[in-house]
Amino acid sequence: MRYLTAGESHGPQLTTIIEGLPAGMPLLSEDIDKELARRQKGHGRGRRMQIEKDTVHITSGVRHGLTLASPVALVVQNDDWKHWTKIMGAEPTDDEEVKRVITRPRPGHADLNGALKYGHRDMRNVLERSSARETTVRVAAGAVAKKLLSLLGIKVASHVVEIGGIKSKVHAYDSIESLAEITENSPVRCLDPVAEKQMMQAIDDAKANGDSIGGIVEVVVEGMPPGVGSYVHYDRKLDSKLAAAIVSINAFKGVEFGIGFEAARKPGSEVHDEIEWSEGEGFHRSTNRLGGLEGGMSTGMPIVIRGVMKPIPTLYKPLQSVDIDSKESFTASIERSDSCAVPAAAVVAENVIAWELATAITNQFYADRLDTLIKSIEDQRAYAREF
């Protein structure tokens, strides 16, 4: 499986083309719209989320609700395009006022580095694509992957464990379904109702101060069969793929599995998961400190992965920068932005992880048809139980 995204933040649409889905997989636009709506929610989001009502159009690869095995094309229209048709139009223009040339790079963004890389004197050519708006169709692709995983008995959920230094003290949940239900009803996707209120206040305080705050999200996956990934090839290690997916999300700067960096502070006896065996269940771990991954492969235990999101760099509070044309210093300021996008980023993280897991499965098992893929996964689980 693979996909390619196209589109600019204020362009006419965002597009993704997905290749490698098995034939016969049920897929409706509603499956994707649900995830797109979740991405737009969360305390601290800016006005753009009120402008755009993201819904998907499936334009190829699906017939009568089932995938054909041909590429699936998904399109999300940008409602704000009507205000940007001249500024972002594809036709040539010499009207500098229409172009709205940007020569002032914003600290923390891709503006300056992208201009240096591609030689753009107008940094709108950089910021339109580097915008987190692109995660819309990454979530759309992830929603398709989540649908496939659900048909294979694999469930994915997420929650926010920290925002602006405020940490959730509740980490236990009855089931992955209850985790999803509780966090879906939280404005900050947090399990801890006390921390939830404190996080919301911290977000409000940051906005009032013209600032932004970041946080940590956790993705949990249940039902992955053991042995997915590789210990043989470095580029097929599952934890490597998942780590890359997390840090590929805009503003994410770190990743950890299980107890993560805490492992550096503990002896080995408090880090590694002891192996047990029981009739019917087969091999399993007594703990899950390594987050369901050993030797680059899934263990069959829940996969637990966390990502660190830095504060959004688009601020109301001016930061110092330098104009690329005049070379004069200036203070960068922006009118419209999120003060905190951590709750929404949890949804993005969920979906990029779902994509990598689905890709790993379809790479490892025969996946031309959904029915044979389901049987292959069931056989793998049975084999592991009886090993």
pLDDT profile of the chain (387 residues), mean per 10: 97 98 98 96 73 91 98 96 94 89 93 98 96 96 98 98 98 96 97 98 93 96 98 97 98 97 97 95 96 98 98 80 95 73 97 98 97 97 94
Structure tokens at 46: 């800016």
HEC per residue, the chain = CEEEEECCCCCCEEEEEEECCCECCECCHHHHHHHHHHHCCCCCCCCHHHHCCCCEEEEECEECCEECCCCEEEEEECHHHHHCCCCCCCCCCCCHHHHCCCCCCCCCCCHHHHHHHHCCCCCHHHHHHHCHHHHHHHHHHHHHHHHHHHHCCCEEEEEEEEECCEECCCCCCCCHHHHHHHHHCCCCCCCCHHHHHHHHHHHHHHHHCCCCCCEEEEEEEECCCCCCECCCCHHHCHHHHHHHHHHCCCCEEEEEECCHHHHHHCCHHHCCCCEEEECCCEEEECCCCCCCEECCEECCCCEEEEEEECCCCCCCCCEEEECCCCCCEEEECCCCCCCCCHHHHHHHHHHHHHHHHHHHHHHHCCCCEHHHHHHHHHHHHHHHHHC
pLDDT at 213: 95
Question: How far, in Å, CA of 2 to CA of 364, rounded?
Answer: 14
Is the CB of residue 272 less than 8 Å from the CB of residue 333?
A: no
**How far apart are the C-alpha atoms of 372 and 387, rounded to whole Å?**
22
CATH number at residue 16: 3.60.150.10
pLDDT of 312? 87
| pTM score of the predicted model | 0.95
At 65 the pLDDT is: 98
Question: From the centroid of its chain, how far is CA 131?
Answer: 14
What is the model's pLDDT at position 333? 63
Instruction: Work out how many domains the chain is built from and give that number.
Output: 1
Contact between 298 and 239 under an 8 Å Cβ cutoff? The reply is no
Contact 251, 345 (CB under 8 A): yes
Exposure letters 278-288 (e unless 16+ CB within 10 A, then b): eeeebebbeeb
Q: According to the model, what pLDDT value does residue 137 have?
A: 97
Contact 48, 336 (CB under 8 A): yes
CB 81, CB 29: distance < 8 Å: no
**What is the domain range of residue 112?**
2-386
What's the chain's length in residues? 387
Q: How far is CA 110 from CA 116, 118, 131, 166, in A?
A: 10, 12, 9, 28
Alpha carbon dihedral 362, 367, 368, 372, in 10-degree steps, equals -170
- Measured CA to CA, the distance from residue 262 to residue 267 in angstroms comes to 10
